[in-house]
Structure 1
Amino acid sequence: MNKFWKYVQYGYVVVAVVLLIDAILNWNTNRGQSYFSIGFAIFMLLVFLFKRNFRRKLEQRNKQR
C-alpha cells in the first residue's frame, strides 16, 4: 500500500500543472478565475510537499524498527 501512495502523491503535481495551464489560458478573459486557479495550484504543490515529507519520515521511522 505504501508504494501506491508513493505514486499517488504525484497526482497533486499533475493537478497543479493543469490548474496553472487553466490560469494561463483564462488570464485575458476571466482574471478572477485565473487567480483562483493559481492559488489552488500553489495549495496543491504545498500538499504534495507536505505529504512527500511526511511519507519519508514514516519510511525512516519504519526502517529503524
Structure 2
Amino acid sequence: MGYLKYTQYVYILFAVFFTYDGIVKLNEGDESYPFYFVIAGMAIFMFFFRRRFLNRHNDRNKNQ
C-alpha cells in the first residue's frame, strides 16, 4: 500500500497538464477546450477522493 501515497499526486499532475492544454486550446480558438477542463476537474476530484480513501484506510488500520 506504500505506493498509493504517491499515486494520488499523479492526478494533480494530470489536472495541471489538462488545465494548461485547455487554456492553450481556448487561446487558439479550438472548440474542444471544455473537454480539457472537464478532465482537469475530474482529476482534481479523483485526487481528493483517493486522499480521503487513503486516510480512511490508514485510520482503520490504526484502530485495529
Please report the TM-score for the alignment, with normalisation by the length of structure 1: 0.90
Paired residue total: 63
Determine the C-alpha separation between the residues in 1 that align with 2:58 and 2:37: 32
Superposition deviation, residue 4 in structure 1: 0.5
Superposition deviation, residue 64 in structure 1: 0.6
Query: In angstroms, what is the RMSD of aligned CA positions?
Result: 0.9
Q: Which sections of structure 2, spanning at least 5 residues, go unmatched?
A: none
Q: Which sections of structure 1, spanning at least 5 residues, go unmatched?
A: none
Determine the C-alpha separation between the residues in 2 that align with 1:9 and 1:33: 27
Could you list the runs of 4 or more consecutive aligned residues of structure 1 that deviate by over 4 angstroms after TM superposition? none
Determine the C-alpha separation between the residues in 1 that align with 2:8 and 2:34: 24
Please report the TM-score for the alignment, with normalisation by the length of structure 2: 0.92
Aligned-pair identity in percent equals 30
